[in-house]
Amino acid sequence: MSGDQIIIFDTTLRDGEQSPGCSMNTREKLEVARALVDLGVDVIEAGFPIASPGDFEAVSEIARTFGDRTTICALARSLDEDVQRAKESLADAQKRRIHVFLATSAIHREFKLRMDKKEIVERAVRSVQQAREFCDDIEFSPEDAARTELDFLCEVVERTIEAGATTVNIPDTVGYATPSQYYRVISCLKERVSNIDRAVISTHCHNDLGLAVANSLAAVEAGARQIECTINGLGERAGNAALEEVVMALRTRADYYGCFTNIHTERLYPTSHLVSSITGMKVQRNKAIVGQNAFAHEAGIHQHGVLQERTTYEIMKPEDVGFVGENLVLGKHSGRHAFRDRVRQLGFDLSEDALQQAFDDFIALADKKKEVYDADIVALIEHRIGDVPERWKLISFHTSAGSSSVPTATLELQCEDQPVICDAATGDGPIDAVFRAMERIMELTARLEDFSVRSVSRGKDAQGEVRVIINVNGRQYQGKGVSTDIIEAAAQAYLQALNKADNDRRSQLPQTSTESLPASP
Ligand code: KIV
Ligand code: ZN
């Protein structure tokens, strides 16, 4: 590989998790972190430890599990207690970074922080020094940098590098920048900050105007050497720059950018799928790189061209990003070995127990369905990933519905090894009746905020995947289920979401987000 390396800093677990409805529990975060390590990201921003005990626990677990392989980063406001908490969460990581931020733009100084420029510089310097006592790898972000006066931005950057920052991140916090303007900001820092060679310049672009990827790439042209991004472009509001897009742009146009990344691009599609499945945030079909249609040629003239010579209309190969189409794979008589090989090829690294579980699910599916596709297997495996331990299990259900009868559901649920509870309810339809019966048994009241069904593969006997988002006491939970029976898939999805709510009811975890905390002082 030639040219400069672009450091890929993934913030799916921090900024990405701040997307509405995308919060993850520690197990889910560990699954995503494992996928990010396999993908080859250089830095994982694992969370914001001061935000909640749950966030602290997740960062600590990720640091402990993966901190010898990838740099694990914890976010902190420029406050002593934040930096202290970040240090504690990273204690077990060999490779660690503290990311300190403080807003610098006039709007934030006046209305959010009520601090003048001098106080901002002093506080930023102090917290970078405090973080530097703990580790050598320190990132500083002047929040809302893209709207900060250039003179002041240069001053803050110079002073924080002097204090020990090794990466200076230039966030376009509100997605206001345009590519040429952002290019000028980075160029200006390179020209005017006397010690800029002692730090890596980083980009962190939000997508409010749909320019996050373009702005990040413009910054690379100007000399930035780290890109902060998220899988599927998750993040606050319209999200952050999508990792898969910046990486494939740099790779496909290496002739132009002259840079490379350490990303194993064939892991992009499976990672995107996993994150979508865990967060419940669907990927639009025509999304660049990882959308279902990203490699589909519909027009006859295109199909003809691709058959003659694929580069006529294809600038990337589906296999370069690990795209899984609708390949017919295995049948009922395929053995465990063939199944294990296919699972590996699809990018999953399962423990023996998880593999056995997936194989049992596969055999049960192959009994119901003649043809099993790659997508079916991916759905079966992902369905089990990141589940909270299920206290409540679905033992059986029965529904009845019709044009002239009241839809009714009878359900049997079991909580751990207690006696099975049976109850019934009516509803607007059989699915609604199942949901109501479940809530009665579990003594939880939920509001259904989103319900979606998609077919996992082809054919009338295709599996249906149901995703739900419910709201319990102001907090959102998502669940998913897969089955050839859509009512069963809906029941699994609702039960998974209710199990998460039940878990929180028992442990009373608060929400995590930079938004839910007061700004620095
Ligand atoms: O968008 C932003 O400014 C951030 C900072 C915390 C880097 O997410
Ligand atoms: Zn951000």
Domain containing residue 442: CATH number: 3.30.160.270
Q: Tell me whether residue 372 is in a domain.
A: yes
Task: Clarify whether residues 420 and 356 are in a common domain.
Answer: no
| Residue where a domain stops, chosen among 250, 279, 308 | 279
Check if 10 has its Cβ closer than 6 Å to any atom of ligand 1.
Answer: no
Check if 439 has its Cβ closer than 6 Å to any atom of ligand 1.
Answer: no
Question: What digits encode the pLDDT tens for the residues 69-120?
Answer: 999 999 999 999 999 999 999 999 999 999 999 999 999 999 999 999 999 9
Count the Cβ atoms, other than its own, within 10 Å of residue 103.
Answer: 26
Which pLDDT value is given to residue 298? 64
Helices 352-368 and 336-345 pack at an angle, to 10 degrees, of 110
Question: What digits encode the pLDDT tens for the residues 468-491?
Answer: 989 998 888 888 888 889 999 999
Task: Clarify whether residues 350 and 460 are in a common domain.
Answer: no
Task: Clarify whether residues 357 and 491 are in a common domain.
Answer: no
Question: What digits encode the pLDDT tens for the residues 13-71?
Answer: 999 998 877 888 898 899 999 999 999 999 999 999 999 999 999 999 999 999 999 99
Q: Tell me whether residue 294 is in a domain.
A: no
- DSSP tally for the chain: helices H, then strands E: 17, 18
**pLDDT higher than 70, residue 385:** no
Nearest ligand, measured from the Cα of 144? 1
- Distance, CA of 448 to CA of 477 (rounded, Å): 10
Pocket perturbation via mutation, ligand 1, pick of 185, 204, 226 by most ligand atoms within 8 A of CB? 204
pTM for the complete prediction? 0.80
Minimal-distance CA residue to ligand 1 atom 2:
173
Atom of ligand 1 nearest to the CA of 206: 1
Determine the structural domain holding residue 377 and report its residue range. 324-384
Task: Clarify whether residues 83 and 189 are in a common domain.
Answer: yes
Task: Clarify whether residues 250 and 202 are in a common domain.
Answer: yes
Nearest ligand, measured from the Cα of 167? 1
Q: Tell me whether residue 482 is in a domain.
A: yes
- Distance, CA of 480 to CA of 383 (rounded, Å): 7
**pLDDT higher than 70, residue 386:** no
Number of domains in the chain: 3
- Distance, CA of 156 to CA of 164 (rounded, Å): 12
Tell me the average pLDDT of the chain.
90
What spacing in Å lies between the alpha carbon of 253 and ligand 2's midpoint?
Answer: 26
| Residue where a domain stops, chosen among 225, 257, 279 | 279
Which pLDDT value is given to residue 22? 82
Check if 108 has its Cβ closer than 6 Å to any atom of ligand 1.
Answer: no
Check if 101 has its Cβ closer than 6 Å to any atom of ligand 1.
Answer: yes
Percent of the chain with pLDDT over 90: 66
Task: Clarify whether residues 370 and 438 are in a common domain.
Answer: no
- Distance, CA of 511 to CA of 172 (rounded, Å): 25
**pLDDT higher than 70, residue 135:** yes
Widest distance between CA atoms in the chain: 79
| Residue where a domain stops, chosen among 363, 384, 405 | 384
DSSP code per residue over 353-395: HHHHHHHHHHHHHHHH-S-EEHHHHHHHHHHHTTPPP-SEEEE
Pocket perturbation via mutation, ligand 1, pick of 15, 43, 73 by most ligand atoms within 8 A of CB? 15
Which pLDDT value is given to residue 111? 95
**Helix, strand, or coil (residue 429):** coil
CA angle 456, 457, 459 (to 5 degrees): 125
Task: Clarify whether residues 263 and 161 are in a common domain.
Answer: yes
DSSP annotation of 237 reads: T
Domain containing residue 272: CATH number: 3.20.20.70
What spacing in Å lies between the alpha carbon of 17 and ligand 2's midpoint?
Answer: 11
Question: What digits encode the pLDDT tens for the residues 248-280?
Answer: 999 999 999 999 999 999 999 989 988 988 888
The tokens describing 374, both together, are 């790659």
* Residue located via tokens 């890929």: 8
Which pLDDT value is given to residue 342? 80
